Structure 1
């Protein structure tokens, strides 16, 4: 693994993000994706809405200066959530864990939440490695798979004084 950093996402990143988010293997692992990952117009509209939302913090994950994925924080129904998507070339080398540690260091609110499909063992390992714990599990429709899967909600809880 090279040196991992987060930087703000800008329009020059859009093509790389689009290509990463339409990788069929990644879509199957992530499951909770766009209805049609190949629809560039829908992607552009979705990304524009995220950029316009004041509660959304979009970041590019870089490894030794090169594009390695995305990380984001956002508020949904009053809960602060985080997400990450790592490009295939950076899988399995600790990039996601390093990026998530950087992201949660920037997000002081606790608890922080994250959601993943139960079959995504890699994302679950990353979340637990950095201190998230499972708080619920329920079936939900996953557009990337076209069917219901178990969605697992994780939380990073506030530190307990004296622990």
Structure 2
């Protein structure tokens, strides 16, 4: 999978990220999204806030040098380290998300790492499990991307015991 790489997110990536995050099918899969994915002002404000937060790490995922999505990590209000990824639909089904998450995890020293996923998103569940994450709990919450309550699973990647 040497054709998948991560690079720092920069201002020039904003248009591609915004368009990717407006894909209706991807929004339905992610479920827990922005209230209004087409609100560019809210998107830009969120991007500025994230880029200025030292606890947030964001990367662009590239496939053979072209834009394929984003991955990132941040520290939650509870002090946990959580990861996220959003892969552009044109890159689905080829292992891009699995490799991008593997690369992100290799840059994160903190364990456990956490991730959240809508349980109906079996592709994303598989990505987490291939990277060693295990489900630790489930809850139901309102998902803006679906406009209704849906089930979400919390996954953890715990330290390996030697």
CA distance in 2, matches of 1:35, 1:54: 25
* SS in structure 1 of the partner of residue 109 of structure 2: coil
Give the match for residue 66 of structure 1: 66
Q: Which residue in the other structure is 1:88 paired with?
A: 89
2:141 alignment partner in structure 1: 140
What RMSD over aligned residues (CA atoms) do the two structures have, in Å?
0.9
**Structure 1 outlier segments of 4+, above 2 Å:** none
How far off is 1:141 after superposition? 1.1
**1:150 Cα shift?**
0.6
Count of residues in Structure 1 that have an aligned counterpart in Structure 2 = 161
Aligned counterparts of 2:99 and 2:137: Cα–Cα separation in 1:
25
| 1:53–1:45 CA distance, 2 compared to 1 (3 A) | same
| Map of 1:26 onto structure 2 | 26
* Structure 2 partner of 1:111: 112
- The alpha carbon displacement at 1:2 in A equals 6.7
Structure-1 residue corresponding to 2:47? 47
Question: Normalising to structure 1: TM-score of the pair?
Answer: 0.97
**Could you say which residue in structure 2 is the equivalent of 1:155?**
156
| Superposition TM-score, scaled by structure 2 size | 0.98
